[in-house]
Chains A and B, each alone.
Chain A
């Protein structure tokens, strides 16, 4: 067995799977970081990903273009985020309840729209999945080459987005305003920032990333839509936000660990060990719980997270 683990093809395959399995988590996590940095917890993430996965699949199937599918997934993610913004930013309702409500709503809606189109087929319909793109030269490096540089475009995009979101948050004027809104909305308001607009835009940007993250699962990872295709990855992304202390770089470490274990468990299942495959499925999620426990004591959430903003009325 050791020989098998250390074989070149196994390692390259595992490396590739790590990045691939981390891709949807990274995309959704970045979306959630942007949103939470502005002071809004979007628990609609799981439902938004599922709706993105379904919409991406449907649009790809009817247009034949996976890229139109991804675009549509981003679009519906933004629409659901606007609904969330209406509930929690403008009406000031509980972010927990509204987010969970949106997840329930989007989950039901995904299944409903899917059934409208396909009924209940015995064999689920499939699309032509996206193809991997090998980067010239780099992909020729042993182990690392096929592992890192022969991936889906969305995976490359997710990896580039990690530093991009960091730069956005910490090196741009917009990022400073977003973080100020999430920490002390009154401070943003008194220097002329529009708190509710910033929060809405952060939700919309985050929603787009969540939708795209969902579509990766039906257009690249798999080529079909199944009810449990997201499988709690939205919740994992929320956990990774906390694990990463609301920082894209550190959250990515968590997402990659999840990807590694997810890739590993897929391989272990194939070895025919006398253990139910459910145990392997559990492994990445167990890790998530441990990761959370290890950092939650020093987690520093944005101070205004969960708090709707209203100007005080003072005499």
Chain B
């Protein structure tokens, strides 16, 4: 199907065979992409699918290794954003590029104009006209730090319009907005396109894409896998294309049925760094001898949930109840990391370099990070290094940690071995409860398999495991039960043989049947 025929004329942007490699990783693999004049085109895909890379190439941030770009029919090569801006391309980044201490006006006009002096009066009248025309109301003289996130996004859009952008790239614009701000953004985008501008809308939320876009391009693992008008496609199609359509993964092992409840997360609500709700009234139950997989596109509250469970972030509501080693139910004291340790929770954080380990300490020191303050390693305030050394040697052997010696600086180990150090530390106490967040992210297949095997062993021992991962294959391979998290809520839950990949994909995209 010729998707360009809908616009008739030369497309605003046409990218052909664009390839970009980062070291060994092919972020964009020979991608063809185009946007028509007056069109809203969605670029859909999971995290790491290559959407942002492709747009950063269009915006002149990176050069492409291969491929060509045409803007309004003219071949262009951008070596910096300045050239892309001059060609009429504007980009609104997911993390706004604003100066909080400067006013809206200063943020909009920086880098524009001619002559030595700032023409504040001229800039102001131009800005007011744009605000009027596109109904983007923000106070021109307020410092940006006083504005809400939605207003800051308007400043970013005004910045692009002020530079006469005809093609606007919006990188996950709704990710930072509250639900009530989204319709307003969509109205703005429609006003823009009705005036002949083009919008590229990067997203992984299916219902938004269906609502706002004329056409959708789906990327997966750096490749274009799908391209349709939104009127010719369905949410189901898109979801399948986005997460991949390998038939129910080659799972050979049976599903386990959980035993007694070990942990109950009860109505937990957590705010993110911007004080927006990230986890919203979440309820989950973790059972003995069972892996609960929490699927979801990253950025849907998983990080904040983990932080709250680990005691690193104060929840705004709700409680976490844990059955400790002695069988007593206790409410986890919120905001105290040590409470989680004391309750016997094994914590495998997603950021192993910064949260999980201290890379400047040795392997053996890292192995006793949570236990060094108490006997047997600590007697009368002195550390028993001989005992710690023997303990470390045992763990290095048992977990097959590749290190020169136990005195090696942890930072010099490979990613897989760092993760093994964390597993060894956390699992050596035979915890009843394990929370593992993105445990194999960035690891090679070998390391991944050994970590999966370890989690299976822990399940067989009777541990309750919460596996949080944005890798759906990993979730399906390991989990006995799968819950899907979307915008801080559980969309649905499936158990054992009833787990349906397609349904999970839909839930991950926020589609409720």
Which chain A residues have a beta carbon within 8 Å of chain B's beta carbons?
171-177, 179-180, 183-184, 186-194, 300, 303, 311, 313-315
Q: Is the CB of B81 within 8 A of A187?
A: no
B124: min CB distance to chain A, Å: 14
In the complex, the answer to whether A313 meets B22 with C-beta atoms within 8 Å is yes
Q: Which residues of B contact A192 (CB under 8 A)?
A: 80-83, 85-86, 111
Contact between chains at A191 and B110 (CB < 8 Å) = yes
- Determine if B27 is an interface residue (Cβ-Cβ < 8 Å): yes
Contact B111–A193 (Cβ < 8 Å)? yes
C-alpha spacing A140/B38, complex, angstroms: 72
Closest to B50 in A: A315
Closest to B84 in A: A192
Nearest CB of chain B from residue A175's CB, rounded to whole Å: 8
Candidate in A176, A193, A300 with the most chain B CB atoms within 10 angstroms: A176
Determine if B52 is an interface residue (Cβ-Cβ < 8 Å): yes
Bound-state Cα–Cα, A300 to B110, Å: 21
Residues of chain A lying within 8 A (CB to CB) of residue B56: 314
Given contacts A171-B117, A180-B99, A183-B102, 6 further A-B contacts (CB under 8 A): A173-B117, A180-B102, A190-B97, A191-B85, A192-B82, A300-B101
Q: Is B302 an interface residue (CB 8 A)?
A: no
Contact A188-B110, Cβ < 8 Å, known A180-B102, A315-B22, A315-B25:
yes
- In angstroms, Cα B97 to Cα A183, docked, is 10
A183-B101, A190-B91, A191-B81 are contacts. A176–B159 as well, Cβ < 8 Å? Answer: no
Q: How far is the CB of A7 from chain B (nearest CB, A)?
A: 47
* A129 CA to B61 CA, complexed, in Å: 54
Taken together as a complex, chains A and B put the C-alpha atoms of A171 and B121 apart, in Å, by: 12
- Chain B residue at smallest Cβ distance from A313: B22
A-chain residues with CB within 8 Å of residue B111 when the two chains form the complex: 173, 177, 180, 188, 191-193
Given A172-B117, A176-B106, answer yes or no on A315-B53 (Cβ-Cβ < 8 Å).
yes
Tell me the smallest distance from the CB of A173 to a CB of chain B, in Å: 5
By Cβ-Cβ distance, the 6 closest A-B pairs, closest first, are A192-B82, A191-B111, A187-B97, A183-B99, A190-B97, A184-B99
Interface residues of B in 50-70 (CB under 8 A from A): 50, 52-53, 56, 61
Q: Check if B102 sits within 8 Å of A193, measured CB to CB.
A: no
A227 → chain B, closest Cβ, in Å? 40
Residues of A within 8 A of B115 (CB): 173
Do the beta carbons of B100 and A193 come within 8 Å of each other? no
A-B pairs with beta carbons under 8 Å apart, 26 shown: A172-B117, A174-B116, A176-B118, A177-B110, A180-B99, A180-B102, A180-B106, A183-B100, A184-B97, A187-B98, A187-B110, A188-B110, A190-B81, A190-B91, A190-B93, A190-B97, A191-B85, A191-B112, A191-B159, A192-B85, A311-B61, A314-B52, A314-B53, A315-B22, A315-B48, A315-B50
Q: Which residue of the partner chain, among B48, B52, B81, B163, contacts A189 with CB atoms under 8 Å?
A: B81
Contact mask B22-66 → A, CB, 8 Å, 1/0? 100101000000000000000000011010110010000100000
A303 touches B109 (CB 8 A): no
- Tell whether A315 pairs with B52 under 8 Å between CB atoms, given A176-B109, A189-B81: yes
Q: Does B75 contact A (CB under 8 A)?
A: no
Q: Nearest-CB distance from A6 to chain B (Å)?
A: 46
Neighbouring A residues of B223 by C-beta, 8 Å:
none
**Chain A residues with CB under 8 A of B73:** none
Nearest CB of chain A from residue B143's CB, rounded to whole Å? 11
B266 to chain A, nearest CB (A): 36
Tell me if B387 counts as interface (CB < 8 A to partner A).
no
Assess whether A173 is in contact with B107, with CB atoms less than 8 Å apart: no
Q: Nearest-CB distance from B49 to chain A (Å)? A: 8
Cα of A192 to Cα of B56 in the assembled complex, Å = 14
Residues of A within 8 A of B93 (CB): 186, 190
A300 to B102: give the CA distance in the assembly, Å: 13
**Complex: A89 Cα to B111 Cα, angstroms:** 20
| Cβ contact within 8 Å between B116 and A187 | no
Q: What is the bound-complex CA distance between A74 and B345, given in angstroms?
A: 63
**Is B113 engaged at the interface, CB distance under 8 Å to the other chain?**
yes
Q: Which residue on chain B has the smallest CB distance to residue A190?
A: B97
Q: Is the CB of B118 within 8 A of A173?
A: yes
**Bound Cα distance A190, B83 (Å):** 11
Nearest neighbor of B52 in chain A, beta-carbon distance: A314
Contact B110 A172 (CB under 8 A): no
A201 CB to closest chain B CB, in angstroms?
15
Contact call A179/B52, Cβ cutoff below 8 A: no
Report the separation of the CA atoms of residues A303 and B143 in the bound assembly, to the nearest whole angstrom.
15
> Which residues of chain A have C-beta atoms less than 8 A from B81's C-beta?
189-192
Q: How far is the CA of A186 from the CA of B159 in the complex (A)?
A: 14
